[in-house]
Structure 1
């Protein structure tokens, strides 16, 4: 059973990228928690800031402001030498398993590189650890002698997972871990991630645009739009009854395997606005079919949903829409 206490607490995380046309607000004041031993999903359309959040937490991208308190320590305040020590506890599984693996290195060297960096194993112990990791992710020990190009996409992602597990991390960011894979192998990798998370007691942050992936893997969900949180809370509660129009629209667009299942249709019109000049007030209002003038005022933040523990919604008209039966 997972501990209810948070392992990671993110507060007012913002990331801005300068461009020739202005400043891109990739992430804008995001706050959330990831509970110890659980899986939290970051979901939203392309350009919502999912990957930037995941990489900022690990400081693969330096945040513009905010905090990321991991096990009581703000990672954003650590000097490079101290942050390097923490990298053993925080790892990442990349989206593209081919480009994230050095084609000039054999698989054994790729996995063993982390062991060397942190001084975890040498000689026979190192080789045994590499063989153990390959076996754990469903590959063979002799695969250590091969190069990445000799494997399929699914096998390469298994190698990436083995590399992330090599240093026995506590927290892993999985950035769209199956989006670059054939549909036929996606389920295999999802099952592997689920089994490893349960076996090792990992805490994970999953970046995904596929709501079926999030529903399958995650305990909690954070719904993002244009760098801001629209809704967050327990996955079961959000999938059963979304409390923000954007979440409802995403769920309406997701395929349902049961052709006889009833579903509400909420089709979004237009494209996501430019992060160079986001709309005032609720950033989703320009595409929301329920928007009113009040939605252009203020800066809505996620507030608790009455009667549902830990579920929050950033819709200023939520109470009205609930009364109308829309949400």
Structure 2
């Protein structure tokens, strides 16, 4: 395990929506760390709480309980003025490039706004030069600064979203499913762009996705979520070669394989995801787990250390693991 202090530390994070008597448990007691320079993947089915965690990390929404610290500073207790200062270090790439850009603003105004708010460019000439640098950084011609968002393709819009996030020279970026609204043909371009920028600028990133192939390619470690709870945490290579939790095994087995002759053990999941308003007792995954026993309904498993930087939230140790050829 690394002895370097984490850049981001999440402890017992909870986010409930709705009434206090019948809350929707979107995020329920989640803890993890992100080391400086690391890309941490956050995976799980739709409704597992991935985007809610991403927004809570940046305090775009307030958490119900728990804490998020950046370089040891508790973001939940930071004042409004302090958070405005920290915004330049903590940025987000949003999921929908069509909805995240103001259609009434030219690209130069979208990028220039952040520079002006944080005082990162003095005067029109310095601002224009910085905007040109940002566009070139994400692979767009500087003359595109005069265009409106509707004049760009989805992939180009997402590049503008990346440029906007980078404009304030952040240290940490939450990428919230940045590929899901893009055509498959251009997803690889954005993935390669994120890889290059991460290495070039020494960025730390939380990469939220349901695309396991991209997560395997891009991320250093992975957190697996189910119904707002952490099921497993592991280094990427280890997780994909030998998943320990039945839910992780099922996710990997269900992922499309490029080689039709590649055979993996299929782990069948029973039923549908339960409602977060009424999660199962004990282990939240037990109602769909093929290995569930009576004790799973009585005990709520916490992620426990399995060695080698791995955590698993399962009371059973006798489950055969999925073997990837």
Shorter-chain TM band? over 0.9
Deviations along 1:67-97, whole A, 9 cap, x unmatched?
1111110111101111111110000000000
Q: Distance in 2 between matches of 1:97 and 1:170?
A: 22
Q: Is 1:139 matched up with 2:140? A: yes
Deviations along 1:163-196, whole A, 9 cap, x unmatched?
0000000000000000000000000000000110
Task: Calculate the aligned-residue CA RMSD, in Å.
Answer: 1.5
What pairs with 1:237-248 in structure 2 (closer than 5 Å)?
237-248=238-249
Q: Normalization by structure 1: what TM-score?
A: 0.95
More deviation in 181-190 or 258-267?
258-267
Partner of 1:187: 188
What pairs with 1:1-327 in structure 2 (closer than 5 Å)?
4-19=4-19, 22-121=22-121, 122-306=123-307, 309-317=308-316, 319-322=317-320
Deviations along 1:287-310, whole A, 9 cap, x unmatched?
00100001111221111114xx21
**Offset at 1:3?**
8.6
Q: Distance in 1 between matches of 2:19 and 2:182?
A: 32
**Offset at 1:19?**
4.8
Deviations along 1:209-235, whole A, 9 cap, x unmatched?
111111111001000000000000211
Alignment length (residue pairs): 321
Q: Distance in 2 between matches of 1:124 and 1:267?
A: 60
Q: Distance in 2 between matches of 1:311 and 1:117?
A: 41
Instruction: Give the conservation status (yes or no) of the 8 Å contact 1:3–1:36.
Output: no
Instruction: Give the conservation status (yes or no) of the 8 Å contact 2:89–2:169.
Output: yes
Q: Distance in 1 between matches of 2:87 and 2:264?
A: 43
Deviations along 1:13-37, whole A, 9 cap, x unmatched?
0000015982100000000001110
Gaps of at least 5 residues in structure 2 are: none
Change (3 A) 1:119 1:188: same
Q: Distance in 2 between matches of 1:143 and 1:272?
A: 44
**Offset at 1:260?**
2.6
Change (3 A) 1:3 1:167: farther
Change (3 A) 1:213 1:326: closer
Q: Distance in 1 between matches of 2:82 and 2:4?
A: 27
Instruction: Give the conservation status (yes or no) of the 8 Å contact 2:91–2:172.
Output: yes
Gaps of at least 5 residues in structure 1 are: none
